[in-house]
A and B are shown apart, each in its own frame.
Chain A
Amino acid sequence: MGVREIKILLVDDDADYCRLVKMALLKSKQSVKFTFEMANSLTAGLECLKNESFDVVLLDLGLPDSSGLETFEMVHRLYPCIPVVMLTGLEDQQVSIDAIKKGASDYLVKGADSFSDILVRTIVYALERKCEEEALQVSERNYRNLINRSADAIVVIDKNGTILFANPAAQNLFGQDTEELLGKPLGYPVILDGPTEIEIVRNRGGKAVAEMRVVETSWQGKAAYLASLRDITKRKATEEKLKKYRKNLKELVKERTEEVDAEKELLSVTFSSMGDGVIVVDPQKRIILFNVIAETLAGWEFERVQDRPIDELFHIVNERNREAAESLIDKVLVTEKTEVGADLDVLIAMDGTEHPISTIAAPILKGDGSIIGIVLVFRDVSRERQLDKMKDDFISSVSHELRTPLTSIKAYTETILHDFDMSDETRRQFLGIIDEESNRLANLIEELLEISRLESGTVKILQEPVDIGTLVRQISSALQPLADKKGIQLSIDMNEGLPELLGDNGKIQSAITNLVGNAIKFTPEGGRVCIRVWHGLPARENTAPLRPRSATSKMAVPQNADEPAASAQRDELVITVSDTGIGIPKEALSKIFERFYRVPHQGKQIPGTGLGLAIVKKIVALHDGRIEVESELNRGTTFTIFLPLAWHGLPAREDTAKMAVPLDTSGELVSKKKIKYQNAKCKIEEVPKF
């Protein structure tokens, strides 16, 4: 410690004593340098203090203008920071002690031994003490500052929870100032372990939420708790808002997801229910989507084809040359436009079955125009192809049929015109042939027109009373000469009192005439043709056993009228035309009602257009009736027409081929099931013959 300079003020009226003190101080062995001032009265002393700063004041209790405790109080009051040492006699010790209590640093008894040393020591200690006090004060001020300025509330409570201290932040938090807080219970449970959240209701209104942390401490020497509280009202509010927001968001997401799910379900169901096959592939031609019809036509299930390249799975070839059809998908990948497949494409399924299809492929484009997939739609066009083929065949047949008589006519005409030395007989013969062929041509054209009219529905079927008995007799007499020419026996077998039929007389006559004419045509000389008519009622339990509906090749001519060859199903008129002619082979039976169909057989083809039976069938259908045939080769044939008596004028609807809407196995529409690709059985019914 370096040399210190200490300035002392001695306030004492005893001059001798003053000199003593001075000498004592100067003599001191301490490494302290003293400077010295003297005053002989309180007033003078105060005056000195006013003018200079002193480190220590030595103060005599018995001064002329003041004495006792008052003296000290005066000085100390005015200069509280300067340490004061009391100088006292033996009898004034009590006063000195009081003075110390009041803030004096120390006291010295005059005249005691070792006065000098004690004096110095006292002074030094007094100064030390002052330093320490000052330091302590500074320190205390610092800490106090921290506590006062702390944003967190700091509260000290005793073990009973009574508030011993509360900093300004605490006062703020609780909305009460110190007087209101001190000595009151805190009111919240003290939990040492973790921060606790407490709700504070302020006196002057308002609520706050605080986070409180409590630790053990000591206060004024006693065990206490130190609680620091942080106002988290705002944070809490934000948390609440966030929670609400999150909840809201969750609900929105849920709603949206449900919407999306519903859309997805709708799309999926639509996709599954589509009547056409749909395949979606990615740009690498691997299968992404595959609907029910595609599964059925291709013979694969979606699970097995997913992600596999389409070329592996089935092939589309040209129907005629069997070459692989130009890959539509490849084409779309290049042109990036919708492409339509070729007309003659045929799909070969996994099991080898073939379906003629029409295809169309389109690119699936992203917003920026790049291809993210290709959708291929195809439909089974077996029916269309078949219809096309039938149309082509029909036209072929017609042109052929028309050309044949025409060829004759022209050939004979040419011959007659340029052969000048033809005999008259030959010429007559040839002209006869021309005549015959012209008639043939005329008939053919007539029949063609008839079948066209009937088919297109441009002909009105009359609903007039038809006396079937008269009709049949008329036909019989008209065709009798034809039968006589071949020596064929033509007979009628009818009951009396047959019910009247509603229908078109002309058409029915035409139909029956055709059948009888055919019978005569196809029966060799000396044979028999018989026309039967009876009133057929629906078969009942105890009547003769029913014959099967479909045509058989058993002997067709019934022995007597009570045993109908085929059974009636409603209240109808049954007309049969039977013959003992050449019969119809089994293979031909299903085809004879087709247009232009003529039963092929060795030897000369029996003349005819092949349209007759087609016309008959159409007429019968327009009367809501049906026609059947039974035949046995070389024994005979029977045609049976059923005409309902309760006909209301509406022609029977003809069967149309249907493409079944995919149903699942329980028969419910797919839309009622979950999203899953069903392997529905989709059958395409066969197109019936005409």
Chain B
Amino acid sequence: MGEGNTVLVIEDETHIGIVVEYNLKRDGFEVYLAEDGTSGLELARKIIPDVILLDWMLPGMDGLEVLTELKNDKTTEHIPVFMLTAKGMASDINRALDLGADDYITKPFNPRQLGELINKKLHEPKKVKTRNRYQKAKCKIEELHNFDI
């Protein structure tokens, strides 16, 4: 599935990083991990991954700041970014999407479904991207929200 595509995961919780990496590797992706925003940006600019999974709550520079940086940088602005976070309010979703996030995943999530999600995003025809992001994301969130706490 992964076909050797690279995924950059910027997440400060080590354990989450490990389990995501394990599952994505199984799906054939090449996975890179960063534990804070600064090193994450550095890594992104260096390897130009095909997809970025970005945690919202990070030490130091927070997730939204990192997102803004990524989208403002010509070298990285094209990379699709998935926000990962425990927050789930509509206002937060909107903020992320307004800043350029391509999709939104709330914790807890099923790491085994990540691969599929990423694949879909990578194989999306370009013109679909001009559709309303918010509406797309809304559908995705509804799909993913199959975990009850």
Contact = CB atoms under 8 A, between A and B. Distances in A.
A407 B108 contact: yes
For this complex, into which size category does the number of interface residues on chain B fall?
20 to 34
Contact of A404 (B13, B18, B59): B13
A672 interface: no
Contacts of B107: 403-404, 406-407
A499 B103 CA distance: 63
B59 A400 contact: no
B12 A604 contact: yes
A543 interface: no
B36 A604 contact: yes
Contacts of A605: 12, 59
Interface stretch (A147-155, A413-421, A534-542, A638-646): A413-421
B35 A411 contact: no
A604 B35 contact: yes
Given A407-B16, A408-B13, A601 B59 contact: yes
A403 B19 CA distance: 16
Contacts of A335: none
A433 B14 CA distance: 10
A415 B59 contact: no
A410 B110 CA distance: 8
A600 interface: yes
A603 B112 contact: no
Nearest to A417: B112
Contacts of B87: 396, 400
Contacts of A403: 86, 107-108, 149
A559 interface: no
B59 A410 contact: no
A604 B59 contact: yes
A506 B31 CA distance: 47
Nearest to A421: B26
Contacts of B12: 604-605
Interface residues of A, number: 26
A295 B41 CA distance: 52
Contacts of A412: 15, 19
B72 to A, nearest CB: 21
A433 B18 contact: yes
Contact of B19 (A415, A436, A601): A415
A257 to B, nearest CB: 62
Contacts of A601: 59-60
A437 interface: yes
Interface in A381-433: 396, 399-400, 403-404, 406-408, 410-412, 414-415, 418-419, 426, 430, 433
Given A396-B87, A403-B107, A604-B12, A408 B57 contact: no
B54 interface: no
Interface of B is mostly: loop
Contacts, number: 73
A403 B111 CA distance: 15
A408 B16 contact: yes
A104 B111 CA distance: 166
A21 B22 CA distance: 186
B109 interface: yes
Contact of B110 (A411, A419, A603): A411
Contacts of B26: 419
B110 A407 contact: no
A59 B16 CA distance: 172
B147 to A, nearest CB: 7
A399 B22 contact: no
Interface in B55-109: 57, 59-60, 86-87, 107-109
Contact of A600 (B13, B14, B59): B59
Contacts of B119: none
A604 B147 contact: no
Nearest to B107: A407
A51 interface: no
A415 B16 contact: no
A415 B112 contact: yes
A603 B61 CA distance: 10
Contacts of A404: 13, 16, 86, 107
A603 B23 contact: no
B5 interface: no
A600 B86 contact: no
B109 A407 contact: yes
Nearest to A434: B15
Contact of A433 (B15, B35, B112, B149): B15
B104 to A, nearest CB: 15
A602 interface: yes
Contact of B108 (A411, A430, A433, A600): A411
B76 to A, nearest CB: 20
Interface in A23-79: none
B36 A603 contact: yes
The CB with the most chain B CB atoms within 10 A, among A396, A404, A419, A601, is that of: A404
B52 interface: no
Nearest to B58: A605
A418 B114 CA distance: 14
Nearest to B23: A415
The CB with the most chain B CB atoms within 10 A, among A400, A415, A600, is that of: A415
A600 B57 CA distance: 11
Contacts of A600: 59-60
B10 interface: no
Contacts of A399: 86
A400 B87 CA distance: 7
Q: Which 10 A-B pairs have the closest CB atoms?
A: A407-B108, A403-B86, A407-B107, A411-B19, A410-B108, A408-B15, A605-B59, A400-B86, A411-B111, A602-B60
Interface of B: 12-16, 18-20, 22-23, 26, 35-36, 38, 57, 59-60, 86-87, 107-112, 147, 149
Given A415-B112, A603-B36, 12 more contacts: A399-B86, A404-B16, A404-B107, A407-B108, A410-B110, A410-B147, A411-B109, A415-B19, A433-B18, A601-B60, A603-B35, A604-B12
Interface of A: 396, 399-400, 403-404, 406-408, 410-412, 414-415, 418-419, 426, 430, 433, 436-437, 600-605
22 contacts: A403-B86, A403-B107, A403-B108, A404-B16, A404-B86, A406-B108, A407-B13, A410-B108, A411-B108, A411-B110, A412-B15, A412-B19, A415-B19, A415-B23, A415-B111, A426-B22, A436-B15, A437-B15, A601-B60, A602-B36, A602-B38, A603-B59
